[in-house]
């Protein structure tokens, strides 16, 4: 960012603008650039308006890095734009932060705690900046933007006092999207990844329209919405313009983070034109995605990395995280449970299972698959998770083919194995059937978020009742 601002002369223009106390609102990197320097990408000088250096969170403080999710602000001083925000959650997604000090005290308007106290917003006169994303923080975020644009409107409203104290566990709604046999893009849902009706016609199950459902889940209180283009592995996503349209339309009305996955890889079209995975991802980001999710291509990259021990920098995972940051890259894992009689039967990490296998097996390993579960690969979920963390993934979306669509609960053995193995956030997915399944996964594993599809699509369990249950169980959630 600083390179671009320096090249086009904007660095000096912004410095003068801020020094003249003109109305300014920096968001995320827009806050960080006001400091003296940052350690991201080596040492980079900032605009130098606020004393301090922007550094990386330290995962040895016991916190997962990146810091992703809804966290609580501690207001330090009056700030017109934060008038309605007291003790509410706002959405953060970052690995670097600035810390409060005697020297920058006069700028700090709120702090947030994540292992350490860091600066969540600054204010001096008309100059504001926030580390979180108001544009992704639901109603609270919209009120911040409104207060910045129309400062007098904030005087008329009574502030709403929330009860937020710390980073909330996230509840994510997932929409598996694909084209049905009549050529319409629909939300579908599989049973162990089989999305076709068990009828003579064998149609693709149709559970609704993607944009409408995403809007509904936003209103219902989903903390994030994920779209997975489940046939992306065989179609070319940039040829699949409806998916880009869905993202554009959804992001007009949905003010929580959007993740999109499916088909992110290098591709050569029928005319011999080559598209890098970075171009594909960039198109998704430009259309409104906040994070992209990589499935099959991450498996191949991890296999190669484990074989050679060399980070080539060329995999989609490495290229996209280098340009957009680790926090923007999710790796979606589609493992299938393989039972074992002894943990030494395979060279992959196994677990002692809570429920014995069909032949009384006491152990299992989790085999990664590609192409929507169609092909098993010679790599386990544990080995994959550790490799993709090293290659630059910022988060893991952990599915389980055996549990998908079964409504019998998450695979706790698998989620425990992976969430204990990595220091990036893990999203538990597949198998939610009741509100109790959510409290179970958060109490028994270190998952940062839980994702469900079928129970929300079939309106069996509303998102709000999941959150009320979690709250009752003493688990912090965003309300």
**Interface positions with ligand 1PR (CB under 6 A):** 174, 176, 189-190, 193, 195, 228, 230, 232-233, 261-264, 293-297, 332, 334, 372-373, 399, 404-405, 429-432, 452-454
Catalytic-role residue among 40, 83, 176, 402 = 176
Residue closer to ligand 1PR, measured from CB, 262 or 380: 262
Least separation in angstroms between residue 460's CB and ligand 1PR is 10
Least separation in angstroms between residue 392's CB and ligand 1PR is 16
Least separation in angstroms between residue 380's CB and ligand 1PR is 17
The torsion angle over the Cα atoms of residues 234, 237, 242 and 247, rounded to 10 degrees, is: 130
Helices (H), ranges, 330-411: 381-391
Least separation in angstroms between residue 16's CB and ligand 1PR is 45
Residue closer to ligand 1PR, measured from CB, 84 or 290: 290
Locus of tokens 């393989």: 338
Locus of tokens 């292992």: 115
Least separation in angstroms between residue 334's CB and ligand 1PR is 5
Catalytic-role residue among 36, 63, 117, 135 = 135
Pairing of strands 291-294, 329-333: parallel
Is 390 an active-site residue?
no
The torsion angle over the Cα atoms of residues 369, 446, 429 and 218, rounded to 10 degrees, is: -140
Least separation in angstroms between residue 266's CB and ligand 1PR is 12
Is 28 an active-site residue?
yes
Residue closer to ligand 1PR, measured from CB, 38 or 332: 332
- Tokens encoding 264: 């992110």
Residue closer to ligand 1PR, measured from CB, 134 or 433: 433
User: Which residue, among 443, 387, 439, has the nearest Cα to 418 in the 3D structure?
Assistant: 387
Least separation in angstroms between residue 410's CB and ligand 1PR is 9
Locus of tokens 């900046």: 129
Locus of tokens 């993709």: 388
Residue closer to ligand 1PR, measured from CB, 81 or 329: 329
Is 176 an active-site residue?
yes
Residue closer to ligand 1PR, measured from CB, 429 or 445: 429
Q: Do residues 415 and 426 touch, judged by C-beta distance below 8 A?
A: yes
Catalytic-role residue among 133, 437, 457, 469 = 133
- Tokens encoding 296: 């099959």
Catalytic-role residue among 40, 303, 334, 440 = 334
d(CA 23, CA 73): 22
Give the list of residues 6+ apart from residue 87 with CB closer than 8 angstroms, or none: 72, 73, 161, 162, 163, 164, 165
Distances (CA, A) of 50 to 31, 76, 118, 119, 447: 10, 17, 14, 12, 36
Show the CA angle centred on residue 450, arms to residues 300 and 445, nearest 5°: 85
Helix (H) or strand (E) holding 140: helix 138-149
User: Which residue, among 369, 364, 330, 350, has the nearest Cα to 421 in the 3D structure?
Assistant: 350
d(CA 87, CA 110): 11
User: Which residue, among 312, 369, 311, has the nearest Cα to 337 in the 3D structure?
Assistant: 369
User: Which residue, among 280, 286, 296, has the nearest Cα to 236 in the 3D structure?
Assistant: 280
Residue closer to ligand 1PR, measured from CB, 432 or 449: 432
Least separation in angstroms between residue 228's CB and ligand 1PR is 4
Residue closer to ligand 1PR, measured from CB, 235 or 361: 235
HSE, side-chain direction, 13 A CA sphere, residue 170? 31
Q: Which residues are catalytic?
A: 28, 133, 135, 176, 334
């Amino acid at each position: 960012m600083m390179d671009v601002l320096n090249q086009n002369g904007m660095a000096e223009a912004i410095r003068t603008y801020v020094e003249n106390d003109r109305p300014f609102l920096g968001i995320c990197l827009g806050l960080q650039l006001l400091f003296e320097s940052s350690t991201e990408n080596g040492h980079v000088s900032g605009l130098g308006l606020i004393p301090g250096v922007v550094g990386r969170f330290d995962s040895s403080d016991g916190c997962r890095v990146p810091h992703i999710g809804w966290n609580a602000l501690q207001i330090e001083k009056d700030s017109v734009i934060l008038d309605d925000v007291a003790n509410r959650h706002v959405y953060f997604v970052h690995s670097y932060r600035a810390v409060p000090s005697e020297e920058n005290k006069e700028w700090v308007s709120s702090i947030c705690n994540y292992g350490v106290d860091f600066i969540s917003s600054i204010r001096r006169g008309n100059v504001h900046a926030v580390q979180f994303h108001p544009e992704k923080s639901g109603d609270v975020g919209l009120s911040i933007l409104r207060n910045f644009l129309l400062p007098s409107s904030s005087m008329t409203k009574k502030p709403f006092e929330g009860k937020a104290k710390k980073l909330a566990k996230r509840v994510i709604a997932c929409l598996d999207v694909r084209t049905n046999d009549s050529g319409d893009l629909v939300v579908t849902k599989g049973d162990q990844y089989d999305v076709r009706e068990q009828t003579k016609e064998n149609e693709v199950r149709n559970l609704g329209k993607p944009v409408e459902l995403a809007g509904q889940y936003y209103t219902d209180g989903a903390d994030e919405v994920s779209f997975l283009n489940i046939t992306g592995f065989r179609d070319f996503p940039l040829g699949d313009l409806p998916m880009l349209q869905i993202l554009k339309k959804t992001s007009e009305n949905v003010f929580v983070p959007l993740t999109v996955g499916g088909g992110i890889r290098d591709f050569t079209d029928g005319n011999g034109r080559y598209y890098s995975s970075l171009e594909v991802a960039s198109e998704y980001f430009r259309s409104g995605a906040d994070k992209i999710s990589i499935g099959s291509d991450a498996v191949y990259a991890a296999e190669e990395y484990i074989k050679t021990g060399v980070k080539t920098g060329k995999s989609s995972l490495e290229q996209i995280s280098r340009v957009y940051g680790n926090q923007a890259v999710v790796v979606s894992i589609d493992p299938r449970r393989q039972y074992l009689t002894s943990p030494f039967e395979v060279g992959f990490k196994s677990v002692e299972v809570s429920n014995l296998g069909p032949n009384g097996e006491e152990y299992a390993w989790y085999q990664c698959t590609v192409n929507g579960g169609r092909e098993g690969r010679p790599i386990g979920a544990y080995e994959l998770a550790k490799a993709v963390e090293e290659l630059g993934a910022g988060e893991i979306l952990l599915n389980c083919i055996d549990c998908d669509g079964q409504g019998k609960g998450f695979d706790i053995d698998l989620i425990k194995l992976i969430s204990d193995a990595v220091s990036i956030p893990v999203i538990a997915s597949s198998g939610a059937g009741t509100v109790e399944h959510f409290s179970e996964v958060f109490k028994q594993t270190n998952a940062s978020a839980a994702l469900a599809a079928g129970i929300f699509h079939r309106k069996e369990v509303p998102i709000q009742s999941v959150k009320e249950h979690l709250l009752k169980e003493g688990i912090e959630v965003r309300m």
